[in-house]
Amino acid sequence: MMAHCSTSSSLNPSNLFSHPTFRTKTLSIPRLCSLSSIRIPQSHCATNRSSLRRLPVVAGAVAVDSQASYTDEKEGKKLLLEVKDLTAVITESQQKILNGVNLTVYEGEVHAIMGKNGSGKSTFSKVLVGHPDYEVTGGTAIFKGQDLLEMDPEERSLSGIFMSFQSPVAIPGVSNADFLNMAYNARQRKLGLPELGPIEFFSHVYSKLDQVNMKMDFLNRNVNEGFSGGERKRNEILQLAVLGADLAILDEIDSGLDVDALQDVARAVNGLLTPNNSVLMITHYQRLLDFIKPAYIHIMENGRIVKTGDISLASFLEKEGYKGITAA
């Protein structure tokens, strides 16, 4: 039986992302979805929701009818995410980092973004989830018919966006079981569905452990505390399995994994795919694409997507490198 969480009364989702626990050198991106339910006292926070800044959109940006966009379909699938001419700068330095990103994702699709270091891949994912280190300066991003750029990070999470960490942070004093239970119930409240108590939630989460090859004692351990790199990545996908998401953004989920751990993670992700949800993967290596097959591969360079193709594009990269893409 899982212990009832003793911290739930003192956690505040709107201020979690600025808490010192999460502002480390190894991690500066909010855990969306799974952190949306945790509350931290206001006095512990360095910033607040006003930190999530968006600069005025430049003149001439395309106006989007959000409701019309979500009704767009391709082969019977609804348009899930539509990004047009998205530009952004680093908040502190005002350095331009995204230079007009365009991307369209329909339900049931798997997309992969590849590119050299510094090309803007991870920045793009962070902008999508509302990281305060970046300011949007132009363009639009529509998710399920809603203006994504006008939502706070926790709103984006509860609307159905999940993002995995490159380097998942440890959270001392919070067990996996309590962490997942609180996050799951926050999502249930958003959807108007019944919440689960600790005992009922245990039954729900137990079936998910096999999907990521994790043992039951992981639930009693503090979140990522003392976990190996492979265990942390498995834990990220466990969170995705428990919480569900319309769009899962996997930012280098393959980094630091041996072949066995990569297969476990990939098998779990494949098991979560349905005709109604989508995955956006960011990776440097073809080996992830050997296990999770994307329908589309996008090459990013200088803050823009410069080429889009099918799985054969990854094979071309292996042979020719990014110079071959640029030359083409």
Residue 301, H or E segment: strand 296-301
Residue 286 vs residues 205, 270, 291, 321: alpha-carbon distances, Å: 31, 16, 9, 12
* Residue-averaged pLDDT of the chain: 78
Give yes or no for residue 74 having a pLDDT over 90: no
pLDDT band at 71 (very low <50, low <70, confident <90, very high): low
Place of tokens 């630091």: 256
pLDDT tens across 80-91, in order?
Answer: 999 999 999 999
Give residue-wise pLDDT tens across range 25-41.
Answer: 333 333 444 443 333 33
Buried b (16+ CB within 10 A) or exposed e, 90-107: ebeeeeebbeebebbbbb
For residue 40, the SS3 value is coil
Average pLDDT rounded to a whole number, residues 240-245 = 89
| Integer angstrom CA distances of residue 278 from 84, 101, 234, 295 | 18, 19, 19, 11
Tokens encoding 240 = 């995705």
What residue spans of 198-311 are helical by DSSP H? 198-209, 229-243, 259-272, 286-291
Q: Is pLDDT at 310 greater than 50 in this prediction?
A: yes
Terminal-residue alpha carbon distance, the chain: 59
**Portion of the chain with pLDDT greater than 90, in percent:** 41
pLDDT surpasses 70 at 11: no
Q: For residue range 150-201, what is the model confidence (pLDDT) as tens digits?
A: 999 989 988 899 998 777 888 899 999 999 999 899 889 988 999 999 889 9
pLDDT band of residue 292 (cuts 50, 70, 90) is very high
Confidence band for 323, pLDDT divided at 50, 70 and 90? confident
Which of 37-46, 129-138, 149-158, 273-282 is predicted with the least confidence, judged by mean pLDDT?
37-46
Residue 106, H or E segment: strand 96-106
Q: What gap in Å lies between CA 91 and CA 108, rounded to an integer?
A: 34
Averaging pLDDT over each range in 132-146, 181-195, 216-230, which range is the top one? 132-146
What domains appear along the chain, each with residue ranges and CATH number?
8-65+74-327 (3.40.50.300)
pLDDT surpasses 50 at 209: yes
Q: Which of 143, 177, 185, 183 is nearest to 160 (CA)?
A: 143
According to the model, what pLDDT value does residue 15 have? 36
